[in-house]
Amino acid sequence: MYEPIRTKSVHTMAGTADFPHRSREEELDIQLAGHFAALLAVTDELRGLEPSASAELEAAAERLAEQVTRLRGGRPPVRAAVASADGEGLGTLSVGLHQRAHALAGRALVVAASRADTAGAILAAERMDVHAAAVAAATAEPALTPR
């Protein structure tokens, strides 16, 4: 009724060394470097949208680039050129970027904590705080002035 299987299953490769394996630590390094690189890209975008916070964002971008370089074994990340943006709707775009950066920093924090990377966890937590505060400030109700 059924034809017998004539080839080895691809799912039972437990004793063979035909393909490269990475350790859990190497996989976590790759994940953390990816999250930090994505956070760096969003930070570079924010630097163009928010010139008033450019110095703080530049310092954060440098720290993120250092972490990516460390995790990638000395290979620096590709950085986007900062372009200034003019026009309507920048506040909404900025809030969206801060929300994305907050989410990326949260993912980086989870991976850094699971790999026991104190420096990475501290940086991710700091970036989460900064982006959460920026979102809160942008979405806060304007203060009512007494008449």
Domain extents in the chain? 24-75+88-138
Q: What is the pLDDT of residue 141?
A: 57
Q: What is the pLDDT of residue 90?
A: 59
Q: Can you read off the two tokens belonging to residue 59?
A: 């310092």
The CA R_g of the chain, rounded to the nearest whole Å, is 22
Cα gap 93→80, rounded to integer Å:
18
Q: What is the pLDDT of residue 120?
A: 94
Tens of each residue's pLDDT in the chain, 147 residues? 667 767 766 665 555 556 677 888 899 999 999 999 999 999 999 988 887 778 899 999 999 999 999 999 999 888 877 666 655 555 678 889 999 999 999 999 999 999 999 999 999 999 999 999 999 988 875 655 555
Residue 82's H or E segment, with its range, is none
Cα gap 87→95, rounded to integer Å:
15
Q: Can you read off the two tokens belonging to residue 7?
A: 């080839």
Cα gap 98→77, rounded to integer Å:
21
Q: What is the pLDDT of residue 67?
A: 94
CB neighbour burial string for 67-78, b if at least 16 within 10 angstroms, e if fewer? bbebbbeeeebe
Cα gap 31→6, rounded to integer Å:
38
Backbone dihedral angles phi then psi of residue 22, each to the nearest 5 degrees: -115, 145
Q: What is the pLDDT of residue 86?
A: 59
Which residues make Cβ contacts (< 8 Å) with residue 50, sequence separation at least 6?
A: 57, 94
In the block, which residue shows the tokens 């993120």? 64
Q: What is the pLDDT of residue 9?
A: 62
